[in-house]
Structure formats: structure tokens, C-alpha cells
Structure 1
Amino acid sequence: MDQAPIKLTEVDRMILASYKDFAEGLSDYLSDCYEIVLHDLENMDHSVIKILNGYHTGRKEGAPITDLALEMLAKMGSSNDKPYITYMCKNKKDEPLRSTTIAIKGEGGRIIGVMCINFYLDSPFSDVIASLCTVGGRPTVSRNENFAENVSETIEKSMISARQRVMEDERILPSQRNREIIRELYQNGVFNLKDAVTYIANLLGISRNTVYLHIRNIAQECSQEKIEQEG
């Protein structure tokens, strides 16, 4: 791979910008024991455009690309092998890191940036365990998630959950329960799934036209509520 800086297109810039949010989400998931670094290869003298937990290596945004990252890039660009490399290294304090460098490709399949993930191996074990029980430093709240094997199972599980919540709400009249179930499913995006209307109609024992009628009315209500909030 030619290690000279490249000229980014507008699409390339949008791709790299999207990785900034990805880096923040990844850092929130992995905890402070990991340093996440996003490099823009257009300006290698100041390639770091996003860094989380940079105190592990003493870097900030605007820092240059490292010599080892350049070496990793050369290896990835000169072979047809996988576009990432995992390796062991050390920071300035001679502290061990377990790292991976992942190529980010832009228009034409060329490498326009890299994301580096560095795990600080001297992290206290108690911190590592604590990170598994918190999210962003906050205690986690367990939520049920249905890992379905097909779309129909996803729709059915969503419908069962919505119906249970509606049935437990004594404020909802029996005549309004189907509508409120459909409202919750609509707000949760269930009707974006293929054949969801047919599945829901069958599960509720009503016609598809009735489901469509509720969806239209609910969509209008949601649009009106949004207009009022913005106004």
C-alpha cells in the first residue's frame, strides 16, 4: 500500500464521520479499559479524529498516526488477507496493550482510515469485572430481548409482549385494547417487517383492513403530536 496521504471524497468523509458515533458506542460497551482511536489517512500528521480513553497512550485528537499503525497498513494493503490485524504492543510507559487495527474502506474499496482498539492489560481485574455490570459507569437494567430465528417469531413475541402490557393496564377499555396493542407495535417499528399486518391480524383475530385502519389513524395522531411538540 502507498503510505502517502490520500485525498478523501465527500462520501469518504461521511463514512469516517459515521465511525465517530460507532467509536463512542463501542467505547461505552467495552468500558474505560479500552482505548478506541479513529484515524483519517488524509492527514497522517494529525490523523486522530476521534479518541476515547486516550490517557492509556497519552494521545488526543490531532495526534499523528503511529509507526506501527503505518506498518500494519502496509501489510493490509499489500496482501489479499483480512483487513485487520491483532497484535501485542506497549505504550510509552512500557505498559502492555492488546491491540487490533481495522481498515476502513471508502469509495472504490481503498483504505481511507483505520480504527485501533487497545486493551490496557494492566487494568485491575476488579475494573474489568465492574465493566461487565455497568454501562457507561451506570448500573445496568436488564431487559428482555427476543433472539428470534425468523420474522414470524419476532412479530409474535412482540405482539405477546405488547398484549401483556395492554392487558395489565386497567385504564384501557376492553374495546380499545386491540387498538392500543397495534399502537405499541407501530411505535416499536414492528410493521416495518414483512407481512406483519397479516400476522398481527391473525393473532388478534381481526381483519387486515381493521389493522390498516388503526395504523392510518395512529400514524396521523403521531404526526399531529410531533407537529405540536415542534411548535
Structure 2
Amino acid sequence: MTEDELLLREAEKIAHAVGRMFPGLCEVVLHDLRDPDHAVRAIEGALSGRAVGDPATELGLARIADAGFPDVLQNYPNRFPDGRQAKSTSIGIRNSGGEYVAALCLNLDVSLLGAAAHALTRLAGTDGPAPLAESLHARTGDELRALVEDYAADRGHTPRSLAAAAKKDVVRLAKERGFLELKNAVPALTDLLGISRATVYNYLR
């Protein structure tokens, strides 16, 4: 067996294995560039309608004509005969003399993926923002304490040294953010702010 035949035999294994991994989605074609009129040596997942023995494409002919043609053309746009969009990659295979012997080409049908991407974009889409910020996790007593302490620290105070108006504001802020749904939230506020329960309820009116 010649070196060229060995290369083609091994590449044929790859063509079938890769094509069978993506049935109905990816066409894998092995071209024998030594015989451009009957270049298709193997094809798996024939999405283009081609068959073994069909001629080389323009890309294959360009490789045959120019030894300096790029070894790999990656992810270039293409189109199947029926109009479906494709993404293609073409890999040239050289022998030890540097001559192109074969090309392994992958043609991915992206028409289905495009439709799926459009559907996912619509599914992930949202309308306008809610009128207030919403957190989807359960509030905790530690978070309530942090809210009050941060509010006071931002104003250069401890929670208990805040003015009455500021204490009223932070109580209402705690309510807006859902902390008043916590068990023992009111006792926690009375302890943090140094006010009575009656005062907390008065602030909430």
C-alpha cells in the first residue's frame, strides 16, 4: 500500500466516525484529490445529495492547482443545493512530499440551529422592568440587620443614633424589600433601632 492510499484509508475512518456522531446535522466528505473527476472517496450524512465518485468542488480544484493553498479553511459560510445555510470546514491532507492528497470537509446544517437560536432568543426575552427590584431568594434576619446597619453607616450613624425620620425611612425600606415578612422582623427592628413595637407599626402606616 502506498503512502497516499494509507492516508486516504485512515482519513476515511475519520470521515465516517465524525459523520455518524452528528447524524442528519453534519455531512462529512473525503475527497481524493488525485482524481478530481471522481474525487468523492467517502461521504457520511449526505446532506448535499452527493455520492461516492462525484467530482471535486471548486475548493478541491483550487487545492490541486496550488500547493500553497491553506491547509485548513475553518467555519466559512456555505449553502446546500436546496438553499439551506451551512457552516463548512475544509482540511487539506498532504503526503510526506508536501503534495495535497486528500481533503476532509465538514458541512454543518445550521438552518435548524438558526431556528432554534431564534426560538431561544424569544424564550429568553423579557418585557420592561418591574416597578421595583425583586429578589427571588428568601430574606434572612442577617440580611435585615445588614440593611439597617449599612443604612446607618452610610449616614455616619449607628442604627440607634439615627434621627426619627431616618428610622422611619429604614423601617419602610425594610418593608419594601420584603423583610417584614420574616418571623420576628418587628422585634429585630425594635432591638436594632432602639424603638418600641408601637413605633415600628406607626412608621408603617
Using the size of structure 2 for normalisation, the TM-score is 0.50
Counterpart Cα distance in 1 of 2:100 and 2:113 = 35
The reply on whether 1:27 has 2:16 as its aligned counterpart is no
Counterpart Cα distance in 1 of 2:18 and 2:106 = 10
The reply on whether 1:59 has 2:47 as its aligned counterpart is no
Gaps of 5+ in 1: 1-8, 129-231
C-alpha offsets along residues 138-197 of structure 1, whole Å, 9 cap, x if unaligned?
A: xxxxxxxxxxxxxxxxxxxxxxxxxxxxxxxxxxxxxxxxxxxxxxxxxxxxxxxxxxxx
CA shift, 1:75, in A, is: 8.9
Tell me, yes or no, if the aligned pair for 2:43 and 2:51 is still in contact at 8 Å.
yes
Higher helix share: 1
Residue equivalent to 1:77 = 67
Q: Which has the larger radius of gyration?
A: 2
Specify whether residues 53 and 127 from structure 1 end up closer, same or farther in structure 2 by C-alpha distance, changes over 3 A only: farther
Residue equivalent to 1:123 = 112
Counterpart Cα distance in 1 of 2:60 and 2:73 = 10
Tell me, yes or no, if the aligned pair for 1:45 and 1:63 is still in contact at 8 Å.
yes
Q: Aligned-residue CA RMSD in angstroms?
A: 2.6
Tell me, yes or no, if the aligned pair for 2:12 and 2:30 is still in contact at 8 Å.
yes
C-alpha offsets along residues 51-101 of structure 1, whole Å, 9 cap, x if unaligned?
A: 0011x1110111100124333x2697325xx51002111121122110011
Question: What is the aligned counterpart of 2:2 among 10, 14, 18?
Answer: 10
Aligned residues: 116
1:40 partner letter: D
Gaps of 5+ in 2: 118-205
Q: Calculate percent identity across the aligned residue pairs.
A: 25
> Which structure 2 residues correspond to residues 1-231 of structure 1 after superposition, within 5 A?
10-54=2-46, 56-71=47-62, 73=63, 77-78=67-68, 83-86=71-74, 87-123=76-112
CA shift, 1:112, in A, is: 0.4
Tell me, yes or no, if the aligned pair for 1:69 and 1:101 is still in contact at 8 Å.
no
1:31 partner letter: P
Using the size of structure 1 for normalisation, the TM-score is 0.45
Secondary structure at 2:97 match in 1: helix
Counterpart Cα distance in 1 of 2:97 and 2:23 = 34
Runs of 4+ in structure 1 off by over 3 angstroms are: 124-128
CA shift, 1:15, in A, is: 1.1
C-alpha offsets along residues 20-63 of structure 1, whole Å, 9 cap, x if unaligned?
A: 11111112333330000000011111100100011x11101111
1:14 partner letter: L
